[in-house]
Structure 1
Amino acid sequence: MPYRLLAGLTLLLSCCTLQAGDLPAPVSYTRDIQPILTEKCVACHACNDAPCQLNLGSAEGLLRGANKVPVYQGERSQAVDPTRLFYDANGVSAWQRKGFYSVLEPRGGQAALMTRMLELGQQAPLPPNSKLPDSIALGINRENVCPLPEEFNAYAAAHATQGMPLAVTGLSEAEYQTLQRWMAAGAPVDQQPLQPNAAEASQIATWEAQLNLPGARQALVGRWLYEHLFLAHIYFEGGEPGHFFQWVRSRTPSGQPVDIIATRRPNDDPGRREFYYRLVPVQGVIVHKTHITYPVGPKKLQRVRELFYANDWQAQAVPGYGPGHRANPFLTFEAIPAKARYQFMLDNAEYFVRSFIRGPVCRGQIATDVIRDQFWVLFQDPSSDLYLSDARYQGQATPLLAMPGQNDNVGSILSLWLSYRDRRNAYEDLRRDHYAKAPTPDWPSLWAGNDNAWLTVFRHYDSATVNKGLIGDVPQSMWLFDYPLLERTYYQLVVNFDVYGNVAHQAQTRLYFDLIRNGAEINFLRLMPAERREDLLDGLYENAGKIKLWLDYQRIDDDTASSLGLDKKRPMRDFAEQLLRHAGALNAAPDPINRCYLAAGGQCSRPGLSPALADAEQRLSRLAALPAARLKVIDQLPEATMLRIEDSSGRREVYSLLRNRAHSNVAFLLGESYRYQSRLDTLTIYPGVLSSYPNFMFNVPAAEVAAFVDAMQQASDPQAFEKIVERWGIRRTHPQFWTWFHDLNRYIKEQDPREAGVLDMNRYENL
């Protein structure tokens, strides 16, 4: 008897034993099932790195099913077809033609794959708050097994403790029974696509009309804006909370159903002369790791019109979409005034830097290996950017700003790399020589237009995050973006990056990113006293880094003076302290915990806290900004630990404990362990959730913070740290794991509702 029929008869017979009034209500996917999946499954099964490409954030993803081919596979010799949900196919049969298979359909007389995976998880629960058995591998490098339904018996025999949810406190009995009832009923789906409300629809029409204006000039601006906003989760002033929208290219104009033109990259040829930029709702559960928000309203539209349409520049024709145009957006969009382009990016600098961080490129240790664990990001003021003000310099520089990655011939990696490296270095020579003749840098040469002006990036080994403001103690390195560097970074890491590309494409992307980092460091060093620049540069490229200084980078300007008047003995710290004073209210991240030595009266906590929480922050400052040589517990901590502290009134605060790993240099994609300087690691402690990928969590009552801090200060070996974990740690197997894990998202929602999203637990450790 077919399984679906058998399950239906079983459910019917069981119901017949009940009184009519006792019959359970039909299970609704929207009301009953998706909330369970959001609570217990989406933290792993979302986005490109969902295990087996099984995305459980929407009915579309669940119906699409699983696929054995991973999206992130940097060593593949051939590119693969994209499989972006809601974009590259429509409907179950279309997805199955792309290699997906159902997890909901019974097969061969057996229950559906999802049913059996959940049953396996229920049959072998993990002991509460226990460590995981060695047989369960976790983390970004876990090799997922993606069995077909007929392969499940072999999977279960070999992985008896690896049912779903994997290696974590599982489903409650009520959740499990609800899912079983739903599956037995045939897994019906009643989810409706998100639709804009009337106010949103009106603004959508206005923005679509703006980007689709006729004429070459208007078309060029529309194209530039689309390529810079395609990754954004747009939300409207007056829009409904939880409603976000995304730009796509469509075969159909406004007022008609969207017919998406699915290209690998947003700047690929759409394949037709007439197409339209359209805004579509972002469907499914919002997850933090891909949530790059961008506010839109009448003021933003007016700003766009002021920047791009207020003067009389002209475009004779719209450029094509060939590899040359993709490689060099400065050439493609040269008709649009560079000042308008740069100012638009500055107005929204956090969005653009966040797109580097939360976009598809930033996943895995090799992707992040060429940045330091903590650095501040600054921007050159447009009035001091020669690319904007010197037409002759701009004309000389533009041909040198092309970027690699368009040719994915594996055999040409080295020759292509050398060609683009030499072109970039010719640009650096040109820039150095022209800026040597320009006015010396001073404080007005740094942009300070809004609270996007100062940003902090934290690298967490195989992921990263960016936040407004100057967070943490003075970093070893700072980046200074001018327009050519900011635009190149965006195009190289966002627009031109193909997550489905082959090893040649991905290697070129990451190798050029090394040059980008070096360029940002060189730009910043121009602010330092001339006679200290070489020493500071050498400090960033110790040991094998000297090889890269000689082989791949250009000579810096160590002659032209700076007008900042910095202390020559301690220029970086003096610069940081002066920068904090100049930033003033624009610094979105006052940080008394990590910079307690600058706090007035030794007050190392924020104002407005309860006495217990203020005392907690004061005590936490004793752990911040110390090297591991003085705070041994850092050796035991993962990269991003969350600390939840609650006072007796029920008010709680959440802090990120970020381990900043030190390196002799970050000039290579591989071999990080050889450059690691563990004794110099530090700990940054800051209010808020500063990672999409928490590695661990502590839950500490405010009354016990003193004991927690003392224990952390005294823990000098794994055994002492184990006692801290046993007392305050929240392991994956903790009975209240999901309560505390999702409380992190609730905290984000309370602080800034638009930024909330389900966090990823693929990197959550079981210390």
Structure 2
Amino acid sequence: MPIFFLLLASLLVSQPLSAASLSYSRDVQPILTAKCVACHACYDAPCQLNLGSATGIQRGASRVPVYNGKRIEADATTRLFVDAQTEEGWRARGFHSVLGGGDAALVARMLELGRSHAPLPGSKLPEDLDIGIRRETQCPRPEEFADFARKNPRAGMPFAVTGLSDGEYATLRQWLAEGASLDGEPLAANASEAAQIAEWESLLNRPGTSEQLAARWLYEHLFLAHLYFVQGASGHFFELVRSRTPSGEAVDVIATRRPNDDPGTQVFYRLRPIQGVIVHKTHITYPLSRGKLARVEELFFAGDWKAEALPGYGPQRRANPFETFAAIPARARYLFMLDDAEYFVRTFIRGPVCRGQIATDVIRDHFWTLFQAPDHDLYLTDAAYREQVTPLLALPGVQDDLAQLPLYWSASRARRNAYEAARREAYSHLPHPSWSHIWAGNDNALLSIFRQHDSASVRKGLIGAVPQTLWWLDFPLLERTYYQLVVNFDVFGNVSHQAQTRLYFDLIRNGAEQNFLRLMPPAQRQAILGDWYQYSGKLRLWLDYEGIDRHTPSGLRLPADHPKAAFAERLLERYGTLNARPDPLNRCRDGRCFRPAAIPALQRIDQRLSSLAARSLAELPAIEYLPEATLLRVELDGGGREVYSLLRNRAHSNVAFMLGESLRYQPEKDTLTLYPEVLTSYPNFLFSLREGEVNAFVASLQQARNAADFERIVLRWGVRRTHPQFWALFHDLSEHIRETDPVEAGILDMNRYQNL
């Protein structure tokens, strides 16, 4: 929402509205969207209280945390709009009301507590106030609130941040006092969207064994997507679900734990509108168009392949999608994923779970991803090889008996290493990998990944300095990662399931790295691998990973000195037209460190800020005091503003272990990537300054040598959680995304906003 409209809304509710004019959808939800949704959305919402819709606030709160790395048994699923459809249904699942009781409602009392203990404007929060996402949340019931408030006077809402305006507070209190009625119609498709929905549902519900197998594979690859129609400009998004009812009837969702669990009944694939406020962290978009419909028809429904029977469901079918969908040509499956590779990598890197450290602590803070060309992917081109290795591609985690965890892990590691050995042997007899072996089909071919501790982001294009590691994914790597971290992953699962998921993703990362090493000169591969697996990582190499190919030549003519850097330089030259995000700030070579197409004012800002880009902590000591994801907002003298991301890339000696990550930090090697875009869903901090202050800001960061120096920078330009204009400035970041890439816009998350 633009700042203008936020301020206008605040003015409109500066006085309590008359009883006759109060409406939840018109008067209340906009306040919740502006001041509450940034924390209360997704699975990491405190007490599972989701305030992005009337359905969410009616569901209420639960004491059961979704994120629990110690649970022995899987928890019941509590997915909004899926696992229960009525208030009574949610009460049966243990959720309690936050609305009942008028002035005594939990929401009213939490707002009153927050208002009576509001933080001092512009101040740093007390050090003993835990604002971290792993803080203990108590989720009191109404009868427990007095004791809770006495023990936790600073725990009111909005929590540890600038609160509601007088008008907003009055409106919410009046609405609660009047009974907290909920109104508003569910979002529905317009006529154009309904016609396109009918076409897609017709395609996905065709009769026939082969057709239904293809539809099932497509559903399992699109169930997470926020689908949108390219031909429409409504801003509506849709999701693909399994329903008991056919097209033309109301959707009746089949609520299985996983999308590949047995539905227990006849399935109809349906598209339904996504309800509630769009939040950036779960907004993983996928376009539908006439061209896409034709592409799906061509890949899956126009060939001469045939499935003799549907494979059924069960643990083995979940564990090995390569066997389950063997009848569908592997080339069709891979091409479909490559067409929108950014989407598929986003599903498991950015993810829908909103707290992804189980996966992200396996990856580097910054790396690039490439894909193997289908014509040179042996799994696609050699039927005998495909038959040989398919049984070895089974995934762990579908059996979650804790007592059997060591046996499950040992067996899956052995299978994976046997596959790597077979793969290495088979590829050693093929033409040596060259540039033609790297897929270059569209601008999804080059991706950049940035990790920020327990979250990560993906963007098309090669952003940042040449990273320490690169991944080269083929179809078995891409599909296994997708099934392991998306289709088969259960955020409500027990410790055995989550441990197996984490451990196997470590093997997948290693496989992607090993595949990239095939492009390097044989004599340099071991040294590059040793740089990736330093110290304790060498032990992991010996214990758990299959050895690399040290002998088969590469088809690339790379120098023995710094072959990875030479590869990156030639990649940028050869694939320049596919690089969606050229980066003159972090890879400036000719002194012109700015975007050529930008207006002169932005070019001057780019040029000055570039002196911070791609610097190490040794060169720029202030990096030590920056969190992982800092945003910089620059107001232009001529109107408007630009937003830059300052990403701290933490260096590690290796990322091969589940525990003890901080012991493997190499802070002196940390680097800073600076790029003119919002590259995170979870800002850790914001600096806001005017165009004329850029030079002073840069100079201050360059000169900062200690915490006191950095504190002065925060005091001058920092936007603390208590800043009087915090919410307007924070939401302006989302507005910037809406202006520059409207399809990707959504409310950013502030659960990780730090107390600098």
- TM-score bracket for the superposition, by shorter chain length: over 0.9
Q: Which residue of 346, 365, 368 corresponds with 2:360?
A: 368
- Contact 1:362 1:368 (8 Å CA) reproduced: no
Q: Residues 264-303 of structure 1: matches in 2 within 5 Å? A: 264-272=257-265, 274-303=266-295
Q: Please give the secondary structure, in 2, of the residue aligned with 1:209.
A: helix
Give a deviation string over 1:214-249, Cα, whole Å, max 9, x none.
010000000000000000000012324321000111
For 1:241 and 1:758, the matched residues in 2 are separated by: 18
Which position in structure 2 is the counterpart of 1:614?
Answer: 603
What is the Cα deviation at residue 665 of structure 1?
A: 0.4
What is the Cα deviation at residue 125 of structure 1?
A: 1.3
For 2:541 and 2:18, the matched residues in 1 are separated by: 74
- Is 1:233 the counterpart of 2:226? The answer is yes
Q: Which residue of 710, 721, 737 corresponds with 1:748?
A: 737
- Is 1:263 the counterpart of 2:280? The answer is no
Shift in alpha-carbon separation, 1:97–1:320, aligned structure 2, 3 A: same
- Is 1:113 the counterpart of 2:106? The answer is yes
**Which amino acid letter does the alignment assign opposite residue 683 of structure 2?**
P
**Which amino acid letter does the alignment assign opposite residue 558 of structure 1?**
R
Q: Residues 532-547 of structure 1: matches in 2 within 5 Å? A: 532-547=524-539
For 1:130 and 1:83, the matched residues in 2 are separated by: 37
For 2:532 and 2:541, the matched residues in 1 are separated by: 10
**Which amino acid letter does the alignment assign opposite residue 485 of structure 1?**
L
Q: Which residue of 645, 657, 673 corresponds with 2:662?
A: 673
Give a deviation string over 1:53-75, Cα, whole Å, max 9, x none.
00000000000000000111121
Which position in structure 2 is the counterpart of 1:558?
Answer: 550
For 2:504 and 2:396, the matched residues in 1 are separated by: 7
Which position in structure 2 is the counterpart of 1:387?
Answer: 379
Give a deviation string over 1:684-708, Cα, whole Å, max 9, x none.
0001110000000000111111110
What is the Cα deviation at residue 180 of structure 1?
A: 0.9
Which position in structure 2 is the counterpart of 1:201?
Answer: 194
Q: Which residue of 307, 313, 316 corresponds with 1:324?
A: 316
For 1:431 and 1:584, the matched residues in 2 are separated by: 31
**Which amino acid letter does the alignment assign opposite residue 283 of structure 2?**
H
Q: How many residues align?
A: 742
Which position in structure 1 is the counterpart of 2:420?
Answer: 428
For 2:560 and 2:287, the matched residues in 1 are separated by: 42
Identity among equivalent positions (%) equals 63
Q: Which 10-residue stretch deviates more, 135-144 or 170-179?
A: 135-144
- Is 1:86 the counterpart of 2:78? The answer is no
For 1:611 and 1:588, the matched residues in 2 are separated by: 22
Give a deviation string over 1:306-327, Cα, whole Å, max 9, x none.
1112221110011011100000
What is the Cα deviation at residue 462 of structure 1?
A: 1.4
Q: Which residue of 42, 46, 53 corresponds with 2:41?
A: 46
Q: Please give the secondary structure, in 1, of the residue aligned with 2:449.
A: strand
Q: Residues 644-723 of structure 1: matches in 2 within 5 Å? A: 644-723=633-712
- Contact 2:72 2:402 (8 Å CA) reproduced: yes
**Which amino acid letter does the alignment assign opposite residue 152 of structure 1?**
F
Which position in structure 2 is the counterpart of 1:10?
Answer: none
Q: For structure 1, which runs of at least 5 residues remain unmatched after alignment?
A: 1-17
- Is 1:101 the counterpart of 2:93? The answer is no
- Contact 1:645 1:702 (8 Å CA) reproduced: yes
Structure 1's consecutive aligned runs of 4 or more residues displaced over 4 angstroms after TM superposition are 22-25
**Which amino acid letter does the alignment assign opposite residue 105 of structure 2?**
A
What is the Cα deviation at residue 766 of structure 1?
A: 1.7
Give a deviation string over 1:354-387, Cα, whole Å, max 9, x none.
0012324562434311100000000000010000
- Contact 2:360 2:456 (8 Å CA) reproduced: yes
**Which amino acid letter does the alignment assign opposite residue 85 of structure 2?**
N
- Contact 1:129 1:733 (8 Å CA) reproduced: yes
**Which amino acid letter does the alignment assign opposite residue 613 of structure 1?**
L
For 1:373 and 1:225, the matched residues in 2 are separated by: 31
Which position in structure 2 is the counterpart of 1:490?
Answer: 482
**Which amino acid letter does the alignment assign opposite residue 41 of structure 1?**
C
For 1:216 and 1:83, the matched residues in 2 are separated by: 33
Q: CA RMSD in A?
A: 1.3
Q: Residues 405-554 of structure 1: matches in 2 within 5 Å? A: 405-554=397-546
- Contact 2:281 2:352 (8 Å CA) reproduced: no
For 2:541 and 2:354, the matched residues in 1 are separated by: 25
Which position in structure 2 is the counterpart of 1:245?
Answer: 238
Q: Please give the secondary structure, in 2, of the residue aligned with 1:294.
A: strand
What is the Cα deviation at residue 582 of structure 1?
A: 1.2
For 1:749 and 1:684, the matched residues in 2 are separated by: 23
Which position in structure 2 is the counterpart of 1:641?
Answer: 630
- Contact 2:349 2:360 (8 Å CA) reproduced: no
For 1:664 and 1:79, the matched residues in 2 are separated by: 34
Which position in structure 2 is the counterpart of 1:180?
Answer: 173
Q: Residues 720-731 of structure 1: matches in 2 within 5 Å? A: 720-731=709-720
Q: Please give the secondary structure, in 1, of the residue aligned with 2:21.
A: coil
What is the Cα deviation at residue 25 of structure 1?
A: 4.4
Give a deviation string over 1:376-414, Cα, whole Å, max 9, x none.
000000010000000110000100000001111000111
- Contact 1:136 1:162 (8 Å CA) reproduced: no
What is the Cα deviation at residue 650 of structure 1?
A: 1.3
Q: Please give the secondary structure, in 1, of the residue aligned with 2:693.
A: helix
**Which amino acid letter does the alignment assign opposite residue 53 of structure 1?**
Q
Q: Residues 143-182 of structure 1: matches in 2 within 5 Å? A: 143-182=136-175
What is the Cα deviation at residue 507 of structure 1?
A: 0.4
- Contact 2:42 2:353 (8 Å CA) reproduced: no
**Which amino acid letter does the alignment assign opposite residue 161 of structure 2?**
V
Which position in structure 2 is the counterpart of 1:214?
Answer: 207
For 1:362 and 1:378, the matched residues in 2 are separated by: 25
- Contact 2:43 2:354 (8 Å CA) reproduced: no
Q: Which residue of 121, 133, 142 corresponds with 2:135?
A: 142
Which position in structure 2 is the counterpart of 1:578?
Answer: 570
Which position in structure 2 is the counterpart of 1:9?
Answer: none
**Which amino acid letter does the alignment assign opposite residue 638 of structure 1?**
P
For 1:203 and 1:361, the matched residues in 2 are separated by: 29
Q: Which residue of 317, 326, 330 corresponds with 1:334?
A: 326
Which position in structure 2 is the counterpart of 1:759?
Answer: 748
Q: Please give the secondary structure, in 2, of the residue aligned with 1:464.
A: strand
For 1:745 and 1:241, the matched residues in 2 are separated by: 18
**Which amino acid letter does the alignment assign opposite residue 80 of structure 1?**
D
Which position in structure 1 is the counterpart of 2:3?
Answer: none
- Contact 2:359 2:505 (8 Å CA) reproduced: no
For 1:525 and 1:236, the matched residues in 2 are separated by: 40
Q: Which 10-residue stretch deviates more, 235-244 or 378-387?
A: 235-244
Q: Please give the secondary structure, in 2, of the residue aligned with 1:129.
A: coil
Q: Which 10-residue stretch deviates more, 56-65 or 602-611?
A: 602-611
Shift in alpha-carbon separation, 1:485–1:611, aligned structure 2, 3 A: same
**Which amino acid letter does the alignment assign opposite residue 696 of structure 1?**
F
TM-score by length of 1: 0.96
Shift in alpha-carbon separation, 1:306–1:366, aligned structure 2, 3 A: closer
**Which amino acid letter does the alignment assign opposite residue 701 of structure 1?**
R
What is the Cα deviation at residue 24 of structure 1?
A: 5.9
- Contact 1:612 1:703 (8 Å CA) reproduced: no
**Which amino acid letter does the alignment assign opposite residue 80 of structure 2?**
L
Q: Please give the secondary structure, in 2, of the residue aligned with 1:596.
A: coil
**Which amino acid letter does the alignment assign opposite residue 294 of structure 1?**
Y
